[in-house]
Structure 1
Amino acid sequence: MTAATVAPAPPRERAGTREPGTPGRRGIALLPTAALVLGAVYCIVPTLWILIAATKSPAHLFSTATYVPSLDDGLVRNIRELSAYHGGIFWRWMFNSFLYAFVGGVLASAVSAATGYALAKYEFAGRTALFNVILAGVLLPQIVLAIPQYLLLSHAGLNDSYLGVILPQLFNPYGIYLCRIYAAAAVEDSLLEAGRIDGAGEFRLFRSVGLRLMTPGLITVFLLQFIVIWNNFLLPFVMVADDSKFPLTVGLYSMLRHGAAEASLYSLVITGTLLSVLPVIALFLSLQRYWRIDLVTGAVR
C-alpha cells in the first residue's frame, strides 16, 4: 500500500515582510508624489495670495478673508492708482527691469557662448585650471561681490548708471559651464575640421557652426540669466541712487518702505508684484518650445 502524496505546506511568511504590490509598498511609492504635491502647494499658495490680494482695495485688504477675492473693480482701481503713482514711475521701473534683464541676458549669453566654446574646442595651457576657477565663481554669494563691484565701478565713474548695473552681470559662471558642456556635446570636431579645410576662419566657424548648433543651450542660458537679472535686488540697490533708474525690485521695495507710513500703498505694492511676474511668465511660455535636447536637429540644420 502506497502512502498518499501530501503537498508540502507553503512556507510561512516572515513577520514584517510583504509581497510586492501590497499596501505597504504602495504607501512607500506614494511618498515622492506626496512630496511633489507639498512642494507645489508651497509654491502656489503665495502666488495665489498675491493674485487674490491684488483684487482688493486698501479698505478691504486687511478686513476681508485672506483667500476670498474681491468682486468689485479693485484690481482695475489698483492698476490705475499704481500707474498714477509719482507720475507713472512704476512703468519706468518696469522698462528699466526689462532693459537690464534683456540687454544683460543677451550679452551674458554671448560671453558665455564664446567662453564655453573656447574651453570645449581648443587645447591651451591652463584650460582645466581656468575652468575650475570659473566654476569656483558659482560658489561665491552675490553679497560678497557687491561692495567690491561698487568700488570698482565708482572708481570708473559708472555708479548710478545703467552700465553700472549691466556690466557686472555679463560674467555668468553657470552659463559658461552650461555652454561648455553643450558645445562639447553638440559641436562635432569633424564639422570644424571640414570648415577649416574649406578655408573658414575660427571666428566664422564659431559664428556659422558653433552658435547655430548651440542655439537651444543658449536660449536656456538667456532665460536663466534674464530671470536672475529681473529678480536681482542687491546690485541695483547698492549701485543706483536715482529712483528713475530703479528696477522693479528696488522700486517696489522703496514703495513698501513708504507704505509703513501710508497703508494704502500696500495694495499698490501687491498689484505691482503681480504685474512684475507677467513678463517672466510670457517669456517662459514663448521660449519653451525652443527647449529641446535634440542635438541631431541642430546638426542637420
Structure 2
Amino acid sequence: MRAACRQIVRAVTLALGLVLACGAFAELPERQEREALRVCADGNNLPFSNQAGEGFENRIAELMAEDLGVPLTYVWAPQVMGFVRNTLELRVCDVMIGTVAGYDFVQNTNAYYRSVYSLVVPADSDLAATRLSDPAFSGRRIGVVAETPPIVPLRRSGARIEGYPLMVDTRVRAPVRDAIEDVAAGNTEGAVLWGPLAGYYAARQEPPLKVVPLVNDDTGAHLDYRITMGVRHGEPHWKDWINDFIDRRQEEIDAILADYDVPLLDRHGQLLGTSEGGDS
C-alpha cells in the first residue's frame, strides 16, 4: 500500500510540475533580439519550400533574413496535423512563411498575396471554364484533392471526380503533382487545384499545361484565399515588424511569386494585370 501511495504522489507531483512548466512557458516574454531568422517549414513541399531552398517561401525567407541582417535557419517538419504544435509553439522557430488568413492556431500578419483555385487542362483543351457551375464540366473526368472546396460544386456540375488525398506526409507522396501528371498523361481531362500548386506544376510539364483561374465562380464555394505569415500569439512587435517588411518589400515578393507562376489576385478578386476576369 505504501509503495502504491508513493507512486501516486510521484505521478501527481510530476503532473503538477508539467502544468506549472507549461504555464511558465506560455508566459515567456516576447524576444526583442533575434540572432537568426528561424523559420518553421516543410522540407519537401514545392513550390512552397524544400530543404534545398528551391521554393518561393524559401526565397521570401531569404529576403526577410537579409532585411533583418541575420542568418537564416530552418526547423523542418512535415506540414501535417500537429505542425504548429511541434514547431512554432515549442519556440524552436519563430515564423511560418505561408499561413491562410484566419488560421486560429497562429497570429496572422497582413496578407502578402491572394490566390484562387484554378483549372488545369492541356493547352489544346476546349475546356476553359472560369466557374465551377459551367455545364462544360458535365461528364468530364476532373482531378480534385479530397475535402477541398471545388469537390461539391464539380459534382453538381456533373463532373466525374478523380480524387487525390489531402493529408499526406510530403516526404512520401505528392498528390497535387500526381493530379497534374495525370492531366498531362491524358488520364484525366483536367484538374481543379489550389492556384500556387496549379501554376507551378502546370508550367513544368512538357508541353506546359494551361491554367485557368476560377475568378468568376458563382457557386458560393470558397475558392480564393489571402495568405499571411504566422507567428506565435502574444508577439505584437514581431508581427508589426513583419507587416512593415511586407509593406516595404511587396513588389519584390510579387516578383518572386511570379517566378513560380502563382495566379495572383488584387484586393477586388481580379487577376493582377487585368481589369476583369474572363469567362467561358
Please tell me the TM-score bracket, short chain as reference. under 0.3
Q: Which has the larger radius of gyration?
A: 1
Task: Looking at secondary structure, tell me which structure has more helix per residue.
Answer: 1
Task: Give the TM-score taking structure 2 as reference length.
Answer: 0.23
Task: Looking at secondary structure, tell me which structure has more strand per residue.
Answer: 2
Task: Give the TM-score taking structure 1 as reference length.
Answer: 0.22
